[in-house]
Amino acid sequence: MKQLLIIFSALLIISTETFSQTSYGSDLSATVAIPTGGNAKYYNTGFGAIGGFYYEMESNWRIGLTIGFIRFGVNNDELNKYFLSTGQEGSVDVDGSISAIPILLSCKYVFPGSSTRFYGIIEGGLYTYWTKANGTITYTGANAGVVPLEKSEFSSEIGFALGFGALFPINKEISIDANVRYNNVRSSETIDVNYYTEEESVGTSHYFNIGVGANWNFDL
């Protein structure tokens, strides 16, 4: 929460110190997301899209809103290894995913230039997670049996993103947008793979985004 308050304060200071709006626009990028952290191996590379709209100030700051959807599939092989590492006997067969839906306030500084324009970006807000999992846990030890695994729920966490990118102009209004973001979320949504001990679970909350898309910018 402290990090998010700092981000919002910075956005407020920047927005009050800029002179006036000179243009507005929107952007949309297809993105590849790479989970990071200790539990990253339990999830496959994610895919999705990130977009938003903004106002650009005379000072080259762009203030706006970013919305995205990114889906990470579950790595069933790694989940089985994790399951066995907890001391249980048997196997896990899960078809599942965790989808991140970020809704973030965005502050971007675009460096001046006559052709390619580079930028840095900071964002903060709410990450909603949609967790889905269907399958079975088959026990072959003392607790032999087959247990169904089914989960579908939403949860929300506070987080922020830092990144950079480049705009490659096609004409006066449209540019190709290439960008990289690192998303840091306060905590993680998980999928439980142990029916008998609820605390045994795996999750991910941090990830890199690598995106390519288009940016539309229009004068006011």
Torsion angle of the four alpha carbons 82, 184, 126, 220, in this order, in degrees rounded to the nearest 10? -140
Q: Answer whether residue 144 is part of any domain.
A: yes
- 12 has pLDDT over 90: no
Whether the predicted pLDDT of 70 surpasses 90: yes
Asked, for residue 156, whether it belongs to a domain, the answer is yes
Indicate whether 171 belongs to any domain: no
Report how far residue 150's alpha carbon sits from residue 95's, in angstroms, rounded to the nearest whole number.
10
pLDDT digits (tens, 9 = 90+) for 81-100: 888 887 778 888 888 888 99
Contact 205, 186 (CB under 8 A): yes
Query: Is the Cα dihedral 24, 170, 59, 53 positive or negative?
Result: positive
Q: Is 37 exposed, middle or buried (0-12, 13-18, 19+ CB in 10 A)?
A: middle
Q: How many CB atoms lie within 10 A of CB 150?
A: 10
pLDDT one-digit tens code per residue, 23-42? 899 999 999 999 887 778 88
Q: Is residue 172 part of a domain?
A: no
| Residue 147 included in any domain | yes
Residue 114 resides in a domain: yes
Write out pLDDT tens, residues 149-205. Answer: 888 888 888 889 999 999 999 998 999 999 999 998 876 555 555 544 444 455 557
Inside any domain, residue 175: no
Distances from the Cα of 78 to the Cαs of 85, 150, 174, 176, 184, in angstroms? 11, 19, 43, 37, 23
DSSP for 108-125, please give it: EEEPP-SS-EEEEEEEEE
Distance CA 183, CA 3 (A): 13
Domain total for the chain?
A: 1
Domain that holds residue 47: 2-16+29-163+186-215
What pTM did the predictor assign? 0.81
Residue 199 lies in a domain: yes
